[in-house]
Chain A
Amino acid sequence: MAGLATVFGSGAMTNSIAEVENNDALFVIGSNTTENHPIVALRMKKAAEKGAKIIVADPRKIPLVKFAALWLRQRPGTDVALLNSMMHVILEEGLEDKRFIEERTEGFEAFKAAVKEFTPEYAEKITGVPKEDIIKAAKIYASAGKAGIYYTMGITQHSMGTNNVYSVANLAMLTGNLGRESTGVNPLRGQNNVQGSSDMACAPTVLPGYQKVTDEAARAKFESVWGRPVPSKVGMTATEMTGAMIDGSLKALYIMGENPLLSDPNMGHTTNALKNLEFLVVQDIFLTETAELADVVLPAASFAEKDGTFTNTERRVQRVRKAIDAPGEALDDLEIICRLSLRMGFDLCLNTPEDAFLEAGSLWPALAGMTYRRINDNGLHWPCPTSDHPGTPYLFHGTFPKGKATFTPVPFVKSKELPDDEYPFVLTTGRVLFQYHTGTMTRRSKALEAVAPEAFVEINTADAENLGISTSDMVSVTSRRGEIKLKAKVADKVGPGVVFIPFHYKEAAANILTNDALDPVCKIPEAKVCAVRLQKA
C-alpha cells in the first residue's frame, strides 16, 4: 500500500465492487480472483457477459482465463517489463489520455523516457509473452471507455513489489482510468479486515488514518485525546521484527490473531526468531503453530462472538454482530487489551466497541461521519467526513488527496532468486478455493477439508515427463532454505519451468521453501518467486 499512497496520497481500492460489472475492460494481473475473491469474480463474469473484455496476466492458467478475451502468461517476477511494454505501445499508438495527464498528473516526461526501451520485442524476451499479445492487451485496455485494474499478492509479494504497484498506477494514469465510475486501480484485499487494520494503523510509521508518527502536529492531536505521549520514532515492520528477534534486540512480542509461523516466508527463520524471544504472548481462538511456542496464550472470541466493524476491500465499513457467547472464559480482543492496559496502570477508556469506533472517527476525518446507527444496514464507504455525507464508492473524483498524481519511472528489476542449474524451477505460491490462509479455520471444516485435504505441487506436463513424475507421485521440492515432500499434480495450469504450491498446509508448508528477501520500501517478502528443484521421492 505504500506504493499507492505515494502516487495518489491514498492507498486503497479506488473503486467499489458493484462497479466491476460495468467496466468495458478489466485488466486482472496477479490475482486468482475466482478462487481468492469469489464474489468479486462473479461481478467480473457478469461484466464479461455484458460485453466487457477481460485481460488476464498470470503465470498460471487460472479459472478466470476461461472468461478472458486475452491471457498473458508472463514469467513470475516480470510484471514490470510487461506493464512498461504495454505503456510503450500505448504511447506509440497515441492512445494515452493527454488531457488527464496534463491536468491531473506530474512527472510524465521522466516516466515516458523510462518506458521507451520497453519495446514489445524486448519485453517478449523478458516475460515470455508474445509481442503481438502485449500490443493487443495494450490496445484493449487503452481503448476501453472505462477500464479497471485488479491485482493482489501476485503483484505485491515480490522483492520489487512496490515497483510493481507504481507500474500498475502508471498504466491507469496514462489512460485516465481514475476518478470515474468503473475504472481505477484496485488491490483486492485478501483478508476480511486488511483494509481496516491498515486504517486503524497497526503499522509502524503511521497513526490511525495514515497520519505519520513523525508529524508533530498529528502526534499532538492524538496526545490530546489519549492523554499520553506518542512515540515519534518510526517502529519496525513485521519482517524487520523477525530480524530483530534473531539479533536479540527485540525481546518480547505480543501477537493478536496471527499465525506468522505458517504464513511468513522462510519458516525455519521465523521459528528460530520466535524461539529466540524472551517472552511471547499469543492471543488467538485456537492453539496455532505460533501459539505453541508462546509463554502465555490468551483465549479470544471469534467473529461470531463479538460486536464491532470490518472494513472490506472496497473501503466499506460494516457491522460485525455478536451471535453467541465465546466458549469457556474466552474474551473478545478489545476487552483483553483494555484489561491488560488497566493492569499496567492505564485506562484506555474504550469500554464498548462503539467507544473505540467513535474515538477513531474523532481522530480521522474519513471516518468522522459514521456511527453504528448510520452503518447499520449496508455500511458506508470511507471517506465519509460528516454525518450527512453519503460515503465515497469511488475515489479521486476531480482531484487527488495530494493534488496531482505522480508518475514513477520504474526500471525492470529481477527477482532476488532466479532458477539456475542447481535449482532449475521457479516456485510461486498462493491459495486454493476451499482453504484459507494457514487453515486454522478451514481445515477444521470437515467438508472443506474433504475436498481439499492435502498439499500438492503443480507441475507442467512437459517438465513432469522429463522428470518421470505423474500425478499423485510423491515429490520432494527443495530450495536453499528447506525441503518438503508432497503429491504432484501434473497439468498445464503452470507453464514450463514453473511450479505452484498452496501455502495452507503445515504438513508440507510452502513457506519452508520461500525466500524472505524484502521489498526495500514496504518490506514485503518475496513469497511469489524463489528457485527450487524437484525430485521423485
Chain B
Amino acid sequence: MIDLTIDGRDISVPEGTTVLDAARLLNLDIPTLCHDPRLKPYGGCRLCIVELEGVPRPVTACTTPVAGGMVVTTESEQLYRLRRTVIEFLLSDHPNDCMVCQRAGDCTLQELAYFYGLRDNRFWGERRRYDKEDANPFIKREMEKCILCAKCVRVCGEVQAVGAIDLAYRGFNAKVCPPYEKDLDCEFCGQCVAVCPTGALTGKVWEAQGRQKDVKYTETVCPYCGCGCNITLHSVRNRVIRVSSRENTLNEGWLCSKGRFGFEFINKPDRLRTPLIRRRKDGPLEPASWDEALGLISSRFEGIKKEHGPDALGGLSSARCTNEENYAFQKFFRTVIGTNNIDHCARY
C-alpha cells in the first residue's frame, strides 16, 4: 500500500492506483472529460490537472500513479484558471445549439460551462464545419460538437475490439472518422454513443423523442439473448423512447445493437390490442371481448378434455416470458388441464 496526502487528507491505496482514483476514493470532485474507469487512462482533456508538491507544473491526475509521500492539491486558484481556460478553448468553436441539442441537460461540457460560468469567450474564432451527414441508420454524428476526447475511439478499440473509427488529421482539422471519412459501417453497438460526453454522438432512434423533462427511468433486463444485460428504459407518456445502461451492472453498461437500438417494437401500432376470435371455420380473426375469448377457450378446452382426455391438449411456453408466467403456465396445465404435455421451444 502507498501512503499519500490529498488536499490535506491522508489516504493509503494499492500500488498502481492513479492520483485521480485515489482522489475519488476521498470523494473529491476533479473534473474530467476524457476519463472513463472502464477505459485505459488517456490524459487528453487536461481537466484533471492537479498540483504535486515539489513538481513545478501541474500533472494530469488520471495518468499519474500514486507514489509514497506524495502531497497532492486538487483545487487552487491556478488550477481553477487553467481548467476554466481549457473549457473556454473547447467552447471557442462549439456550436452553442444547446437549445435543440439532444444532450442538453445530460452533457458534461454543458455542465462544466455552467459551473465555470462561461458565457463569453476570449477565443471566439473560426468554427469547424462538417456538413456531411452520416447515413447510417443508428448513430447521429455531429462532429462539430466533438471535443476530441477520443472516448469513442478507445471504446471501439479497447472494449468492442472493432476499431471502426480513429482520429484523423492534425491540429484544428483533427476529427474522429471511419476510414476514408466514409459513413459508419460497423457493429452499431452504440458503445461510442454511451461514452460520448457531448452531443457529438447520439442515437438517431431517439432523436427529438424527449430529453429529461417528464422522462421516467425504469431499470429492467434486455429482452433479447441470454446475456441478461441490465437496461434502463426511458419512457415519456407511456412510450419507450430510449434504452441506456448503467455502468455498475453485469454488462458494465455495454450493450449490442439490438439491446440499445431495437426497442421500437414495443410502441408499434400493429401490437395486438384486443382478443381476436375466428367465429366460423376459415373465417377471419375478429376482435372480441376478454369475456367472450376466455369463455370460448374454457368451453373448447373442457369439451376436448371430456371427449379425448387431458393428454389431447398441450401447451407451448416461451423463453421470452418471465419466470412467474412460465410457472403459472405449467401450473395451469398440470392442475387445471391435468397433463404434462407442456414444453418450450428452446429447452435444449
Contacts and interface: CB of A to CB of B under 8 A. Distances in A.
A236 to B, nearest CB: 5
Interface in A296-342: 296-300, 302-306, 308-314, 316-325, 327-334, 337-341
Given A42-B160, A284-B272, A299-B272, A256 B262 contact: no
Nearest to B316: A255
Contacts of B258: 433-434, 436, 442, 448
B318 interface: yes
Nearest to B186: A451
Contact of B188 (A256, A312, A323, A434): A434
A341 to B, nearest CB: 5
Interface string A76-101: 00000000000000000000000000
Interface stretch (A121-129, A198-206, A405-413, A419-427): A198-206
A365 to B, nearest CB: 15
A329 B290 contact: yes
A321 B304 CA distance: 37
A296 B293 contact: yes
Interface in A409-461: 433-434, 436, 440-442, 444-448, 450-451
Contacts of B270: 286-287, 444
Interface string A365-396: 00000000000001100000000000000000
Contact of B316 (A153, A254, A316): A254
Interface string B281-300: 00001001010011111101
A334 B271 contact: no
B17 interface: no
Interface in B304-321: 304, 308, 310-321
Interface stretch (B8-16, B27-35, B194-202, B329-337): B329-337
Contact of A321 (B218, B262, B296, B327): B218
A108 to B, nearest CB: 27
B238 A309 contact: no
Range, interface on chain B: 35 or more
A354 B347 CA distance: 24
A156 interface: yes
B316 A238 contact: yes
Interface stretch (A137-145, A224-232, A465-473): A224-232
Nearest to B335: A228
A343 B297 CA distance: 9
Interface stretch (B98-106, B125-133, B227-235): B227-235
A241 interface: yes
Contacts of B342: 202-204, 235
B221 interface: yes
Contacts of A260: 316, 345
| Best-surrounded residue of B254, B304, B340 (most CB of chain A within 10 A) | B340
A135 interface: no
Contacts of A334: 322, 324-325, 328
B161 interface: yes
A436 B317 contact: no
Contacts of B94: none
Contact of B343 (A153, A203, A316, A333): A203
B344 A39 contact: no
B344 A258 contact: yes
Contacts of A254: 297, 301, 313-316, 333
Contact of A236 (B261, B264, B265, B314): B314
Nearest to A324: B238
B161 A67 contact: yes
A294 interface: yes
A229 B277 CA distance: 32
B302 interface: yes
Interface in B237-273: 238-240, 249-251, 254-258, 261-266, 268, 270-273
Contacts of B302: 344
Nearest to B312: A251
Contact of B304 (A252, A434, A450): A252
B287 to A, nearest CB: 9
A500 B304 CA distance: 43
A348 interface: yes
Interface stretch (A110-118, A173-181, A184-192, A481-489): A184-192
B322 A202 contact: no
Contacts of B313: 250-254
A233 B311 contact: yes
A522 B295 CA distance: 36
A202 B324 CA distance: 11
Contacts of A156: 348
A103 interface: no
Contact of B308 (A192, A251, A256): A251
Contact of A250 (B224, B239, B240, B314): B314
B261 A445 contact: yes
Contacts of B263: 304, 445
Nearest to B243: A304
A306 B322 contact: yes
A70 to B, nearest CB: 18
B339 interface: yes
A192 B304 contact: no
A287 B271 CA distance: 8
B326 A196 contact: yes
Contacts of A234: 340
A204 B341 contact: yes
| Best-surrounded residue of A191, A205, A281 (most CB of chain B within 10 A) | A191
Contacts of A314: 228, 250
Given A202-B315, A260-B345, A334-B322, A447 B221 contact: no
Please give me the 6 A-B residue pairs with the lowest Cβ-Cβ distance, nearest first.
Answer: A312-B228, A328-B273, A257-B318, A308-B322, A189-B226, A235-B340
6 contacts: A1-B348, A193-B322, A314-B250, A356-B323, A357-B327, A448-B258
Interface of B: 136-138, 159-161, 187-189, 204-205, 216, 218-230, 233, 235, 238-240, 249-251, 254-258, 261-266, 268, 270-278, 285, 288, 290, 293-298, 300-302, 304, 308, 310-336, 338-348
Given A201-B330, A331-B290, 13 more contacts: A40-B227, A42-B254, A46-B159, A192-B228, A193-B320, A201-B327, A299-B271, A303-B221, A304-B218, A322-B218, A330-B271, A339-B294, A436-B258
Interface of A: 1-2, 17-18, 34, 36-40, 42, 45-46, 49, 67, 153, 156-157, 161, 188-205, 207-208, 213, 222, 226-231, 233-238, 241, 244, 249-258, 260, 263-264, 278-279, 281, 284-287, 291-292, 294-300, 302-306, 308-314, 316-325, 327-334, 337-341, 343-346, 348, 350, 353-354, 356-357, 359-360, 378-379, 433-434, 436, 440-442, 444-448, 450-451, 522, 524
